[in-house]
């Protein structure tokens, strides 16, 4: 159990340092907050084009994003971790309902696909729909977490000094990050059998042709994806603050 928790903490830390394979670090609302989750995706112009969103839908998404920014300010002021986690959960549920009410069925389906593409290898362990469909064995989960563990030092080394780097250096780092993230997904997919690989490809749909924002820990700021669920979001916040802790578990 302790070994599993330790590997889970490493996986969480890797997820913090990685975005989607196509992430370019666009800034979102709330002082650089952008990134993953349905709402974060819907604020992205490339995603809006892919979904053929109407002007009215885009305006409502911006309104939701502004409200989320204010909510973050209030949540971050809460010192009690349990209360803070509960507030994250409530906000996630509120955002999900608002987004579901806003989108048409086909748009909702496509957003779910884009979230999986956005999360990359992290979707195998942190996306509930993927976990349910693939039904990974405990052995497979451990092997995937070992893949994260092995990749961790590479991402950590590449990320050093990122926020102090020049614009050109950041762009170069982002490209290297994207390559590492693709390699991470390729290695993780090797753990799956043929049926699971087919199911995963169906779940993530047609490759996105634009630029997806990072799923979490965005390079332009800390991406705060509500679509991941409050548990994962709160856990990754703590992992970012103290990445060496071995008592942080990934919810699968």
Residue 252 included in any domain: no
Structure tokens at 182: 């693709």
On average, the pLDDT of the chain sits at 74
Tell me, what DSSP letter sits at residue 43?
T
**Torsion from C-alpha of 172, 125, 69, 83, nearest 10 degrees:** -140
Q: Which residue has the higher pLDDT, 30 or 155?
A: 155
Cα gap 11→13, rounded to integer Å = 5
Residue 52 has phi, psi (to 5 degrees) of 55, 50
CB atoms within 10 A of CB 235: 24
Percent of the chain with pLDDT over 90: 35
**Torsion from C-alpha of 132, 138, 142, 144, nearest 10 degrees:** -30
Q: 86-139, pLDDT tens digit by residue?
A: 988 888 888 889 999 999 999 999 999 999 998 889 999 989 999 999 999 999
Q: 18-32, pLDDT tens digit by residue?
A: 333 333 333 333 323
Residue 248 included in any domain: no
* Residues contacting residue 27 through CB under 8 Å, at least 6 positions apart: 34, 218, 220, 221
Residue 32 included in any domain: yes
Contact 22, 211 (CB under 8 A): yes
Measured CA to CA in angstroms, residue 248 lies from 197, 223, 239 at distances of: 28, 20, 7
Q: 75-86, pLDDT tens digit by residue?
A: 988 989 899 889
Q: How confident is the model at residue 219 (pLDDT cuts 50, 70, 90)?
A: very low
**Residue appearing with tokens 């469909």:** 133
The whole domain housing 163 covers 2-241
- Over residues 53-59, the mean pLDDT reads 96
Residue 249 included in any domain: no
Percent of the chain with pLDDT over 70: 70
**Confidence at residue 174, expressed as pLDDT on a 0 to 100 scale:** 77
Say how many domains are in the chain: 1
Q: How confident is the model at residue 252 (pLDDT cuts 50, 70, 90)?
A: very low
- Whether the per-residue pLDDT at 250 is higher than 80: the answer is no
**Confidence at residue 36, expressed as pLDDT on a 0 to 100 scale:** 42
**Confidence at residue 196, expressed as pLDDT on a 0 to 100 scale:** 97
**Confidence at residue 37, expressed as pLDDT on a 0 to 100 scale:** 65
- Whether the per-residue pLDDT at 13 is higher than 60: the answer is no
Residue 121 included in any domain: yes
Q: Give one word for 167, left, alpha or beta, with left for phi > 0 and alpha for psi -120 to 50.
A: alpha
CB atoms within 10 A of CB 100: 12
């Amino acid at each position: 159990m302790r070994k599993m928790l330790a590997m889970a903490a490493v996986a969480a830390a890797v997820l913090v340092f990685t975005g989607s394979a196509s992430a370019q670090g666009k800034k979102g609302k709330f002082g650089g907050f952008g990134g993953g989750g349905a709402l974060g995706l819907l604020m992205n112009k490339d995603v809006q084009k892919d979904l053929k969103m109407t002007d009215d839908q885009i305006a409502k998404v911006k309104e939701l994003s502004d409200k989320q920014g204010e909510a973050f300010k209030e949540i971050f002021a809460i010192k009690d971790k349990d209360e803070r986690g509960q507030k994250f959960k409530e906000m996630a549920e509120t955002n999900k309902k608002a987004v579901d009410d806003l989108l048409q069925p086909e748009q909702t389906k496509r957003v779910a696909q884009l979230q999986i593409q956005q999360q990359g290898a992290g979707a195998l362990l942190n996306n509930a729909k993927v976990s349910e469909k693939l039904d990974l064995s405990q052995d497979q989960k451990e092997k995937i977490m070992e893949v994260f563990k092995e990749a961790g030092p590479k991402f950590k080394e590449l990320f050093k000094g990122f926020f102090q780097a020049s614009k050109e250096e950041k762009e170069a780092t982002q490209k290297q990050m994207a390559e590492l993230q693709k390699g991470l997904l390729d290695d993780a997919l090797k753990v799956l059998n043929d049926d699971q690989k087919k199911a995963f490809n169906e779940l993530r749909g047609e490759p996105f042709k634009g630029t997806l924002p990072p799923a979490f820990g965005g390079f332009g700021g800390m991406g705060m994806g509500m679509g991941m669920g409050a548990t994962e979001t709160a856990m990754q916040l703590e992992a970012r603050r103290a990445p060496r802790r071995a008592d942080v578990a990934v919810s699968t």
